[in-house]
């Protein structure tokens, strides 16, 4: 059990640093009015500044949760940071899907047009979404350890 927590610390240092760096970059780009595209990731849009603030705060919460990683309060911070990223990412998924349904001059888009509309580039929160799902493992681990001690 202690081994999984030590791996978790390493994992969340990397994830927290990535979220902090991407949030800081979005914040700077949002304040300067610039855009940036790196591979399948894009930092642009009208809400870039606020997404940057959310990612930056999520990165800070991830990094703060490492102090005593097994403590339930620190894991609560980890869950809140993940939830912040989940909310922004799910809103982007919703916007991508609903924006891809209508076609050009038709009610519904073709399958190829739909796939083209939801293809990359994606915002950083959407790129971090799968990596934050590890939080669900630590929630389960905590629940199982509480069941054993009860």
Tens digit of each residue's pLDDT (9 = 90 or more) over 69-108: 888 888 899 999 999 999 999 999 999 999 999 977 888 8
Provide the whole-model pTM: 0.88
Per-residue pLDDT, 150: 61
> Cα separations (Å) of 19 from 16, 23, 63, 66, 148?
5, 6, 10, 15, 34
């Amino acid at each position: 059990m202690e081994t999984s927590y030590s791996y978790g610390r390493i994992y969340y240092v990397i994830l927290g640093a990535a979220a902090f760096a991407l949030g800081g970059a979005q914040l700077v780009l949002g304040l300067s009015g610039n855009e940036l595209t790196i591979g399948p990731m894009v930092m642009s849009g009208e809400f870039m500044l606020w997404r940057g603030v959310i990612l930056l705060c999520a990165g800070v919460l991830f990094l703060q949760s490492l102090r005593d990683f097994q403590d339930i309060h620190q894991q609560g911070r980890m869950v809140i940071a993940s939830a912040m990223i989940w909310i922004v990412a799910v809103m982007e998924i919703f916007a991508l899907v609903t924006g891809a349904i209508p076609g050009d001059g038709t009610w519904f888009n073709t399958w190829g047009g739909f796939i083209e509309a939801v293809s990359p580039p994606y915002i950083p929160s959407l790129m971090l979404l799968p990596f934050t799902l590890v939080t669900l493992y630590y929630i389960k681990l905590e629940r199982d350890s509480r069941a054993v001690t009860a």
